[in-house]
Amino acid sequence: MLDFLAENNLCGQAILRIVSCGNAIIAELLRLSEFIPSVFRLKDKADQQKYGEIIFDFSYFKGPEICEGRLEAKPELLDLDDEFRENNIEILTRFYLAFQSVHKYIVDLNRYLDDLNEGIYIQQTLETVLLNEDGKQLLCEALYLYGVMLLVIDQKIEGEVRERMLVSYYRYSAARSADSNMDDICKLLRSTGYSSQPGAKRPPNYPESYFSRVPISETFISMVIGRLRSDDIYNQVSAYPLPEHRSTALATQAAMLYVLLYFDPTILHTQQAKMREIVDKYFPDNWVISIYMGICVNLAEAWEPYKAAKTALNYTLDLSNVKEQASRYATVTERVHSQVRQLLKEGCLREEMVLDNIPKLLNCLRDCNVAIRWLMLHTADSTCDPNNKRLRQIKDQVLTDSKYNPKILFQLLLDTAQFEFILKEMFKQMLSEKQEKWESFKKEGSERMAELADVFSGVKPLTRVEKNENLQAWFREISKQIMSLNYDDSTAAGRKTVQLIQALEEVQEFHQLESNLQVCQFLADTRKFLHQMIRTINIKEEVLITMQIVGDLSYAWQLIDSFTSIMQESIRANPSMVTKLRATFLKLASALDMPLLRINQANSPDLLSVSQYYSGELVSYVRKVLQIIPESMFTSLLKIIKLQTHDIIEVPTRLDKDKLRDYAQLSPRYEVAKLTHAISIFTEGILMMKTTLVGIIKVDPKQLLEDGIRKELVKRVALALHRGLTFNPKAKPSELMPKLKDMAATMDGFHRSFEYIQDYVNIYGLKIWQEEVSRIINYNVEQECNNFLRTKIQDWQSMYQSTHIPIPKFAPVDESVTFIGRLCREILRITDPKVACYIDQLNTWYDMKNHQEVTNSRLFSEIQDTLGTFGLNGLDRLLCFMIVKELQNFLSMFQKTVLRDKPVLDALKVLMNSVNPLKGIVANSGKVYSTAIAKTQKIWAAYLDAIMKVGQMQILRRQIANELNYSCRFDSKHLAAALENLNKAILADIEAHYQDPSLPYPKEDNTLLYEITAYLEAAGIHTPLNKIYITTKRLPYFPIVNFLFLISHLPKLQYNKNFGMACRKPADPIDWPPLVLGLLTLLKQFHSRYTEQFLALIGQFVRSTMEQCTSQKIPEMPADVVGALLFLEDYVRYTKLPRRVVEAHVPSFIFDEFRTVL
């Protein structure tokens, strides 16, 4: 019969593929369970209020039309629903594909069983496959993995969450009509009512009713359970010869049987004899089992509802049996621990000793591993529900009688792992050198015999040895016999070697050769070599395989976490402990063998992703444990910072010798030296770990240390920024500057200490500092900007967030999400044009009421000192988003209040007729303008508000650009010069292209312009006023509305010789620079002809009003004309346009005149 797993055996390959797929699906489910969007849980009030009406469970399917109708009735809900879809469809699709693959898995398995029954695989039936060793294993695994999948889904992804995700996917996915499986998937995965929360009640008939949702052949189930009951399908018993280890040997099978029994619950309920047999064979001394990758189950609880199972298990759970088992393991633990410690002593595990004592060492290993397994599982908190009195009682009994001490158990685990690791390494080494050594011993032995033959020939001078031809011939023969030993036929060679040793002992006795010491020595040496040959030939790979089986630690995949604090404590006390931990982590990596074995056998492409997932999980755990080292380092660092900043005085360049003692400060300096030494000891500890392959991920201790330091730095800096930049809006004066100063001092402390420590731990301190601080700030800016985005950037999509070095998220304390939002809103609050007026020439804001200075451009240098260039740049980006939001709000407001309001439109039409043509002069201008202003009065309050906000933010952006440019020229003049020149060159090329299209221009796919913009903005080489923030359509009446807005607000302002246009009445606050810049930005978003019309209207206003004054013989220039001319002057100044642009609309003599009049 063909090998069942051979590539040309279709029957074997088909089931192997199914099993391989099963392992991959479980890994994907476990991976995805960490990425469930929290909104689907609807845990907090805010989520319920916001999304409660757009997230449905399966009740949606009872009346989809009603639910959709409810949504369509409210446009804001529809909008939210669209936004929600855009943000979640990617992750929902991934979840749906995983759920779909679970359903496809069981469909494939059922199809395979049907094919077997119908005889599609020639000569193969269910019975013959179950007779084959591999076939039997694979069929049992196939059903078992399906059960595990269902349990994992229910444990990791709650039923309600599954339903909500499936309904959301169904509603949002375009492919739903084509996907006929949706109904089946929903039937399989609808909520079971199970909750993984501690103390939650178990639903009735759970999980058997869940397992029976897709029918599976009963014959198949009963045959598979039968096999598992009777056979040792994995031949594990040979690795555990002792009868008391039998339940451990069959543990994998026991876990499979536990899962499979739920497919046939009648056995659990009524078949007492079968249950007794199962318990006697698999659970006579254990009741807590690990079913898959460390998912543990307590049978006392799991089998509570089943009569037969409960009765059968009562014998095991009898307190006298519990006491007997616990006491036995207490004794075993004590005995084996002392043995292992003895063996781990320096120089004990030598090659000869290992080769002579293989069975003893393996027995010791078995005892250690069995004891660790039993104690770890039966004392775990996670497997014991504290509300269940009986479980608590059993656990207390175990803890008392096994004299359980987690530290001692952990120490035993460490020592066992170390012992196992050394032994494995020795065996691998010996196996690789086995043939070479054997041949060298053979050669040595043969040569000794040849030399002895020469001695008895009488030719070789050896003192007092007479010639003896018989012995000479005999030794020659022995030499030949030794040379003829064949390495490949180890059994025959072994027998022959034993006979040769006997012959050499006999020749010594019979021929009275003892008298000659040298001959005796030769014989003894040869015998030693022959002994070594026997030892060497006995080094077999089976020993390594047995060690691999015995050393399995997959049951602790999750339980090991409960020992983290002990591990960290021991590392803190003794950093060199890391070397022992390395062996433990490698032992834990053996857990990867189980899910990967079948995937590897099937040559599945999933091999990489599954091994990547489990290896990644393990490496994350290693990082978590070793994080204590950077934590301890930072604790010492904080003390060093304190000493350096507060206690140690800087030594001056010149110093009187009698003051030398004062400056020596021996005790604080000694303290600093001691702390620094402690830090370098910690570093040494982690670097002792050596580069290790954990699963398929290479762990480099230097990288691990650097990542750990980065993680700790990020954690502390992020927390400091979160706490330091929280402002009280009611504080007078604002807390902004003092808090920024404090924050700058804190950041400087971090920076200095990092600089100080870098040489002691051999890292690039400045590089790490800049990379991590920029990452924290950019991430927070990104999160803050999410508020303004429709398609939000999730954490797992963010280029700044990292799994190994995560940036912590904090709960918002006000409307802002992060510290950068709070800082931005505080700046906007104190520079609000309603309360502060901005004097452009001084770059300073003053309070409108008491004329005190509020803040000035120093604010931005302070932010630069605190948050660096990244912080200012981030603030700038956030302001851009805010401007966009304001402009969008403005457009919708314009549509609502102007274009949809008939009286306003009529007034504008009348005005348009009056002012045409724009080159002319408006007759009776005063009346025409005042009538139009009066009729449009109601729209100006909101209009003013929007324009002032935009103007205020533009002022801030100009200040930020100025600060960035100044610091760039100061700190990196070459970069500034290079950027300016490159910018000019690119612009010159683009201009040339537009004059002559045959000249080159950056293509569509060229990212040059996009990339250079990021650099220019970071260096402040840009003009915020020229930026286009939004795309706009044509808006009728737009220039005339803006013109009316301007002239309606001019009477509220007056000219002041000291600081230009100022507010007339503090009760009606209006600030000139934000007004000008706001209008300018607004016009910039539209076609330039709107600006032309707007300027022409102002020119016409000036000319018409002046005409009226002349005709009425009013000698003074009216205030409104002065205001309009000042606006035009400022407009030209801010946009850097030539003056002739406005002189086209206002005669130049009026411009020249108005300055003399002021």
What average pLDDT does this structure show over 45-56?
83
pTM over 0.85: no
Contact of 224 with 185, CB cutoff 8 Å: no
1 pLDDT higher than 50 = no
Angle at 893 between CA 889 and CA 897, to 5 degrees: 175
Return the axis-axis angle of helices 1072-1084 and 858-894, rounded to nearest 10°.
60
Both tokens of 21, joined, read 């797929």
Q: Please report, to the nearest 10 degrees, the dihedral formed by the alpha carbons of residues 789, 795, 799, 805 taken in order.
A: 150
Residue 925 corresponds to which tokens in the numbers above? 């201008």
Mean of the per-residue pLDDT values for the chain? 85
CA 1020, distance to chain mean position in Å, is: 33
Give the three-state DSSP class for 288: strand
pLDDT in tens, 566-588: 988 988 888 888 878 888 888 88
Is pLDDT above 60 for 339? yes
**pLDDT attached to residue 1117:** 78
113-133 pLDDT tens trace: 999 988 888 888 889 888 889
Q: What residues contact residue 645 under an 8 Å CB cut-off, 6+ apart?
A: 749, 752
Give the CA diameter of the chain.
Answer: 156
> Any alpha helices (H) in 652-700, and if so which ranges?
660-664, 666-687
Q: What is the mean pLDDT of residues 1120-1140?
A: 86
Q: What is the mean pLDDT of residues 996-1022?
A: 84
pLDDT band at 514 (very low <50, low <70, confident <90, very high): low
Lowest mean pLDDT among 530-534, 638-642, 698-702: 530-534
For 236-293, what is each residue's pLDDT tens digit?
A: 888 888 888 888 899 999 999 999 999 999 999 999 999 999 999 999 999 999 998 8
Q: Are 977 and 1015 in contact, with CB atoms under 8 Å apart?
A: no
Mind listing the pLDDT tens digit for each residue in 140-183? 999 999 999 999 999 999 889 999 999 999 888 865 555 568 88
Q: For residue 837, what is the enclosing H or E element?
A: strand 836-839
- Judge whether 148 and 25 are in contact, CB under 8 Å: no
Q: What is the pLDDT of residues 725-751, one digit of tens each?
A: 888 888 778 888 889 998 888 888 888
Q: Which of 3, 231, 219, 26 is nearest to 110 (CA)?
A: 219
User: b or e along 995-1034 (b: 16 or more beta carbons within 10 Å of the residue's beta carbon)?
Assistant: eeeeeeeeeeeeeeeeebeeebbbbbbbebeeeebeeeee
In percent, the amount of the chain with pLDDT more than 90 equals 23
Q: Are the C-beta atoms of 633 and 718 separated by less than 8 Å? A: no
Residue 946 and residue 352: Cα distance in Å, rounded?
A: 88
**What integer pLDDT is reported at residue 591 of this predicted model?**
84
Q: Specify the pLDDT at position 197.
A: 80
The residue-averaged pLDDT of 1136-1152 equals 82
